[in-house]
Structure 1
Amino acid sequence: YYDYQITERRGSGKNARWVTVHTEVRSTPFLLRDPSGVVPINLTGAEIIGGVVETRNETSRRRHSERSIREGHSLYVLGSAQVGPSGDRLEIGKGDGELPYLVSTLSERELMMKKAGAGMIALTFGMSGLTLAALGLLGNAGSFAATDFLLAALLAPIFQLTINVGMQFNDLAFLKNRVERAWANIDVSLKKRADLLPGLQSVVSAQLSHESELQERIAQLRSRYASSQAGGPEEWAQFVTEEAATVDQFRVVAERYPELRSGLLTSKLFNDLTLLENEIALMREGYNESVEIYNTTIQSFPTVVLARLGGHERRAFFRADVEVHQVPSLGESLQVL
């Protein structure tokens, strides 16, 4: 990644200022390694903090500067995990809405201090100003009793307590929305995958009519789909586990019939089923982590008091038995034809 700028100093005296005359920003996706593995990073839409900054003065009134992130840098990344273009792995990128996406060469602690420093200074001045304002108003009223000093002194901690309560409520709302957003993404993939069942049943009925057990399992899945729609993660998990087992059985049966796998319709069906199963498997971990954080938070003191007042309840985990598969190549199937 690099951000290249050319600036010129224009005007003179008190009116002199630096004006940007050229800007060039470029980035390329890269792999980030940590103790848990390797994950692709897409910098599109990211807020870049830190990096190597180099400045060169062409003349006294023209300056070139470049900020870059280079191979080998240690990075802190805070973003949204999403299914990558290959369909069988996650990548970190810009999420929906106002979710933050930060990429920094600073450590997590350094970044937090940088982001929170200005807010803490403003909060300190605000609390001090509130106390002084209260004392001033009481002084103008001609009242300087001991209770007045006590009231002025209590305003600051009351103000801080109010802010803390508001932040706790906002945190609970954010965690709840994150769980709901993660489940909504899974729900979309679940419904798209269920919509493929009629196509799967058609292929089996037309070309595998002698596989009665497989046909029966697909028919049962279609009948159970309606009841699963009305349920939550636990009902969907049971449905998806049975569906994945049925699709795996279909894969095994199809291996015995090369002419079936080489068909364009069947190849596309395999591709779509695998992509959607991968989406569900990859998003399941993120959803379960969100649920774990949310459930732990609403049971911790003193947040548990606010959670009960706000009607926050425990969320169920999504424990579907699905795994990531390599996406079949549709091009290879067409070559067989």
Structure 2
Amino acid sequence: MNRTVWIIIAIVAMLVIGGISSYNSLINMSENVGGKWSQIENQLQRRADLIPNLVSTVKGYAAHEQQAIQAVADARAKLGGAQGPSAKAEANGELNTALSRLLVIAENYPNLKADKNFRALMDELSGTENRIAVARKDYNESVQLYNTTIRSLPASIFARYYGFDPMEYFKADEGAKQVPQVKF
């Protein structure tokens, strides 16, 4: 065969191998983002599962604080039905605000603050909040790597061809930038 034919075959082979490598890399990154997202959802679910016990404990001491208790229940339900990072972030912000109101109420009840179950639930909730923060950070880092890769050459060519679209970051809602004001 002619030397030109070998050069063309080598170039085609390199393109095919590069394309396969880019595709596999994009699949791997996409799955990594999905895995990180599921960790956020796991931790949000863990927190949502703790909340009914916390609310029940507060109800026992502060039954007349029904509005704050109902706000927590409503925000928890909204978080359970939220789909996608921005909807989850918004619902999470509402739940954080409702929980902070409930915890302010708890401050007014010394017997509640001294209750062993309440303290244990608060410790669990605090640990879960830390886990959520770590999971969000890990998720956003994997989204950043994925989004950077699909916008960089040569992967961007294959990403566009195979339909790899940018993924959404888990962003705090606008209200999270300000300290919530609790008014009764």
Q: Equivalent residue for 1:307?
A: 159
Partner-residue secondary structure (3-state), 2:97: helix
Aligned length: 174
Superposition RMSD in Å: 2.0
Q: Equivalent residue for 2:49?
A: 195
Tell me the CA shift for residue 216 of structure 1: 2.4
Match of 1:280 among 113, 132, 140: 132
Identity of aligned residues (%): 32
Match of 1:161 among 15, 18, 21: 15
Unpaired segments of 5 or more residues in structure 1?
1-137, 139-147, 323-337
Q: Equivalent residue for 1:243?
A: 95
Please say if residues 150 and 159 of structure 2, whose CA atoms lie closer than 8 Å, have aligned partners that are also in contact.
Answer: yes
Please say if residues 58 and 112 of structure 2, whose CA atoms lie closer than 8 Å, have aligned partners that are also in contact.
Answer: no
Tell me the CA shift for residue 192 of structure 1: 1.2
Q: Equivalent residue for 2:179?
A: none
Match of 2:142 among 281, 290, 298: 290
Amino acid at match of 1:265: N
Deviations 1:205-258 (A, max 9, x none): 221112233112113124324422xx1111111111111222222322222222
Partner-residue secondary structure (3-state), 2:28: helix
Question: Which structure has more strand as a fraction of its residues?
Answer: 1
Q: Equivalent residue for 2:69?
A: 215
Question: Which structure has more helix as a fraction of its residues?
Answer: 2
Partner-residue secondary structure (3-state), 1:195: helix
TM-score (norm 2): 0.84
Which has the higher relative contact order, 1 or 2, with Cα contacts under 8 A spaced 6 or more apart? 2
Task: Provide the C-alpha distance between the structure 1 equivalents of 2:168 and 2:40, rounded to a whole number of angstroms.
Answer: 14
Tell me the CA shift for residue 178 of structure 1: 1.4
Match of 1:269 among 121, 140, 151: 121
Match of 1:259 among 94, 104, 111: 111
Task: Provide the C-alpha distance between the structure 1 equivalents of 2:121 and 2:27, rounded to a whole number of angstroms.
Answer: 39
Task: Provide the C-alpha distance between the structure 2 equivalents of 1:301 and 1:248, rounded to a whole number of angstroms.
Answer: 46
Partner-residue secondary structure (3-state), 2:87: helix
TM-score (norm 1): 0.48
Task: Provide the C-alpha distance between the structure 2 equivalents of 1:222 and 1:243, rounded to a whole number of angstroms.
Answer: 6
Partner-residue secondary structure (3-state), 1:196: helix
Structure 1 stretches of 4+ with a deviation exceeding 6 A read none
